[in-house]
């Protein structure tokens, strides 16, 4: 099927690529189907594009690439919702707030997007971790650990 995208124009996708958010993403209750698209061929950044709404697209990154000590535990009800059977089935992404000066881009570590890559079920999980905030700078000199944002 063809979808209109924010960053890639019209794109052909397969039905099996569609990721479902049974509980939607907070703030977007009507949007439950998305697809992951690489931002470009060489980028480590990914776009979470709504299948229905061309303008709704989030730039994501793997938080473990930028924050080596990032970790959290999924609560049992989330494991059940995502139908997770194995740790290998889990993909974790942070939603980025991209700035005009890209080096000022921030990552939301308080609310990661967790995907069951085997079943294409996802949820934005809100963590109750006091060290994680919605705006952690992606690029920091000397690569220190997490900072308040």
SS3 133: coil
Per-residue HEC secondary structure of 55-103 comes to CCEEEEECHHHHCCCCCCCCCHHHHHHCCCCCHHHEEEEEEEECCCCHH
**What is the set of domains in the chain, with CATH numbers?**
2-137 (2.30.290.10)
The strand pairing partners of 57, in sequence order, are 49
Nearest CA to 147 out of 72, 69, 64, 94 is that of: 69
**Which pair of tokens denotes residue 54?**
């061309």
SS3 139: coil
pLDDT one digit per residue (tens) for the chain, 149 residues: 999 999 999 999 999 999 999 999 999 999 999 999 998 888 889 999 999 999 999 999 999 999 999 999 999 999 999 999 999 999 999 999 999 888 999 999 999 999 999 999 999 999 999 999 999 999 875 444 444 44
pLDDT for 139: 86
């Amino acid at each position: 099927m063809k979808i209109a995208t924010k960053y890639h124009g019209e794109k052909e996708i397969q039905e099996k690529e569609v990721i479902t958010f049974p509980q939607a993403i907070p703030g977007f209750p009507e949007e439950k189907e998305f697809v992951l698209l690489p931002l470009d061929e060489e980028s480590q950044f990914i776009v979470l594009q709504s299948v229905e709404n061309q303008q709704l697209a989030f730039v994501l990154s793997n938080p473990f690439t930028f924050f080596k000590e990032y970790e959290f535990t999924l609560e049992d009800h989330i494991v059940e919702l995502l139908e997770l059977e194995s740790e290998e089935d889990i993909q974790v992404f942070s939603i980025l707030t991209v700035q005009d000066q890209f080096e000022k881009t921030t990552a939301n570590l308080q609310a990661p997007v967790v995907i069951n890559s085997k079943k294409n079920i996802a949820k934005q999980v809100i963590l109750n971790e006091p060290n994680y905030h919605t705006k952690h700078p992606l690029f920091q000199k000397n690569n220190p650990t997490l900072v308040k944002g």
